[in-house]
Structure 1
Amino acid sequence: MTRALFIIDVQNDFTEGGALGVEGGAAVAAGVTELLERHRGEYDVVVASRDWHSAEGDNGGHFAVESEPDFVETWPVHCVAGTEGAEYHPALSLDHVDVHIRKGQGVPAYSIFEGTDDDGASMSDVLTSRGITDVDVVGIATDYCVRASVLDALEHGQHVRVFTDLIAGVAASTSELALAELGHAGADITESTALDRAAS
């Protein structure tokens, strides 16, 4: 068994005070750092994703630039490449991150599998080249990018765990529905304490 950790979109614009900040985002950033300080040895590769949208245009209809956002398919401008909002939250330590994925460069993108690393490799390529069989997922937002990334990881054939103490969603109702969907699809919905139990 070879295991990866996916850290989904722990960025300034998705945490408190950001353009699309969710409640609990900063706590997720700090909690993921603590997880890696205790359990980095559990992972063969740690991957962090970021929305990295183009400054020009509406990014394939993703940004609501001529009307109000519906917060389902259209959104306020966020995570524009090179801006402070697109940077990782400062409480997330990058010391243990091996691969950085950028997604949504000019187009809508939710799943980590829709992005590429600094060398242009896809997430699927990264997992296959490293022989990854199991993935743990943390990050933001439960009901959007976490959900999409987990579903794609399952489609890729991974065994997936979602750590509910290290995710934060846009809304409680849609986050609850997303977790139910992911569990039904085959993901293990648990908490990061599963790592502590496994180590004891």
Structure 2
Amino acid sequence: MSRLLIIVDAQNDFCEGGALGVDGGAAVAGRIAAFVREHGAQYDRIFASQDWHRGDTDNGGHFAVPPAEPDFTDTWPVHCVAGTEGAALHAEVAALAEELGERLEIVHKGHGIPSYSVLEGTVVATDEGVEHLIAAGGWDRIDVVGLAYDFCVRATALGATEAGAPVRVLSDLTAAVHPADIPALEEELRGAGVEVTAS
């Protein structure tokens, strides 16, 4: 049995000052880095996902195309275009990646399509599909942290649970686009069998 930590989309565009900044995003990135430095040895694998959208399309309707305005539910401002500074990991997590080297495995998702769950992504170094890795089983626990709580963290946790894995969301290592909706979100997660706890 083994343990997996999934760090979801701790990227510049999802932190304050980014194209789709979440209040508290930078602080979450710092807390995640500190958590991994203290507890990373407990995990057999650590993934850090990145939205990796194309810059030459609307990515299947994911980007709002002017004059349309983003609704911040299904359509969004242009963000996390592959290879840009906005798509880069936040400095705190990027420093962690430097420290861990190959032990922190990068996952890319959403290249040309809307993508929320990390299970839709691919491990860059090995070309492994995350969905296959989760569905293959053998996980004692999967912990999910990152940005944003009510979209990509939610989708990742629910997807991993649906695949039969025991999943925890470490809620203090997340931040939401719509903070007022967190109680309903956590009720949904618990109802689906996801454990919601603090780190």
TM-score scaled by structure 2?
0.92
Preserved contact between residue 16 and residue 22 of structure 1 (Cα < 8 Å): yes
Distance 1:44 1:150 in 2: 18
Partner of 2:37: 37
Deviates more, 1:6-15 or 1:127-136: 127-136
**Structure 2: unaligned runs, 5 residues or longer:** none
Aligned residues: 192
Preserved contact between residue 7 and residue 137 of structure 1 (Cα < 8 Å): yes
Partner of 2:88: 87
Preserved contact between residue 137 and residue 164 of structure 2 (Cα < 8 Å): no
**Structure 1: unaligned runs, 5 residues or longer:** 193-200
Partner of 2:196: 189
Partner of 1:18: 18
Matching residue's letter, 1:165: D
Partner of 1:198: none
Superposition misfits of 4+ residues, deviation over 6 angstroms:
none
Query: How many percent identity over aligned positions?
Result: 48
Distance 2:138 2:40 in 1: 18
Preserved contact between residue 103 and residue 115 of structure 1 (Cα < 8 Å): yes
Q: How large is the RMSD of aligned CA atoms in angstroms? A: 1.4
Preserved contact between residue 31 and residue 166 of structure 1 (Cα < 8 Å): yes
Per-residue deviation, residues 107-163 of structure 1 (Å, max 9, x unmatched): 000000111111331113334668323101110001100000000010111111111
Distance 1:16 1:71 in 2: 16
Instruction: State the secondary structure of the residue aligned to 1:62.
Output: coil
Preserved contact between residue 133 and residue 157 of structure 1 (Cα < 8 Å): no
2:153 equivalent to 1:162? no
Change (3 A) 1:130 1:46: farther
Which aligned pairs between 1:54-69 and structure 2 lie closer than 5 A?
54-66=54-66, 67-69=68-70
TM-score scaled by structure 1?
0.91
Preserved contact between residue 4 and residue 142 of structure 2 (Cα < 8 Å): yes
Distance 1:164 1:176 in 2: 11
Preserved contact between residue 111 and residue 152 of structure 1 (Cα < 8 Å): yes
